[in-house]
């Protein structure tokens, strides 16, 4: 069994910019810069033969490169508690088109449809143990964050192993956008 997800790996320049936002909130578990990514589709635990089918399906996707624009910060809540802090992503036609093609390809190989609406973001921190007022202040003071657009020329199938501190993400296959 292997735990998989499909994502856009962020270039070093963006990871550096995002890492400069991190810190200053007691109780927040900040994502290490090497783990920054934009999830296009979480797959979860699958058998190795299914992972091969996933790879084959993703290999057949044809999409053009597109610009990725990060801007603003926000939070996701679960059960009335702020669970994570994120940087927003502008929803562009190119991004939406790629995400929909990935979803369709994965359903064709027998994976269940994703139930959650696609909300593109890059997670900065897990915040379930951080004071809500500190998180609100962080969002207010960083909501004008904007990174210069970067051209996305590939997407990646990652495997993930849950660790004690942070998960370990391994890029398994890169798929070119052309």
The residue annotated as part of the active site, out of 97, 121, 142, 154, is: 121
* Domains of the chain (ranges, CATH numbers): 2-176 (3.90.1140.10)
State the pLDDT at residue 80: 86
State the pLDDT at residue 53: 97
Q: Is 142 a catalytic residue?
A: no
Q: Is 37 a catalytic residue?
A: yes
The residue annotated as part of the active site, out of 37, 97, 142, 154, is: 37
State the pLDDT at residue 87: 98
Q: Give buried/exposed letters for 132-167 (b at 16+ CB in 10 A, else e).
A: eebbeebbeeeeebebeeeebeebbbbbbeeeeeee
User: What is the chain's pLDDT, residue by residue, as a tens digit (178 residues)?
Assistant: 999 999 999 999 999 999 999 999 999 999 999 999 999 999 999 999 999 999 999 999 999 999 999 999 999 998 889 999 999 999 999 999 999 999 999 999 999 999 999 999 999 999 999 999 999 999 999 999 999 999 999 999 999 998 777 889 999 999 999 8
């Amino acid at each position: 069994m292997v735990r998989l997800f499909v994502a856009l790996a962020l270039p070093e320049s963006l990871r550096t910019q995002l890492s400069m936002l991190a810190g200053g909130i007691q109780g927040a578990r900040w994502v290490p810069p090497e783990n920054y990514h934009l999830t296009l589709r979480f797959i979860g635990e699958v058998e190795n033969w299914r992972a091969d089918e996933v790879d084959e399906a993703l290999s057949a996707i044809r999409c053009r490169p597109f610009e990725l624009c990060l801007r603003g910060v926000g939070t996701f809540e679960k059960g009335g508690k702020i669970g994570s802090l994120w940087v927003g992503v502008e929803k562009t036609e190119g991004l939406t088109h790629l995400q929909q093609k990935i979803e369709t390809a994965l359903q064709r190989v027998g994976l269940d449809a994703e139930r959650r609406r696609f909300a593109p973001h890059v997670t900065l921190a897990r915040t379930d143990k951080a004071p809500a007022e500190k998180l609100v202040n962080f969002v207010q003071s960083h909501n004008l964050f904007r990174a210069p657009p970067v051209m996305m020329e590939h997407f990646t199938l990652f495997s993930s192993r849950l660790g004690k501190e942070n998960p370990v993400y391994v890029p398994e296959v890169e798929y070119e956008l052309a």
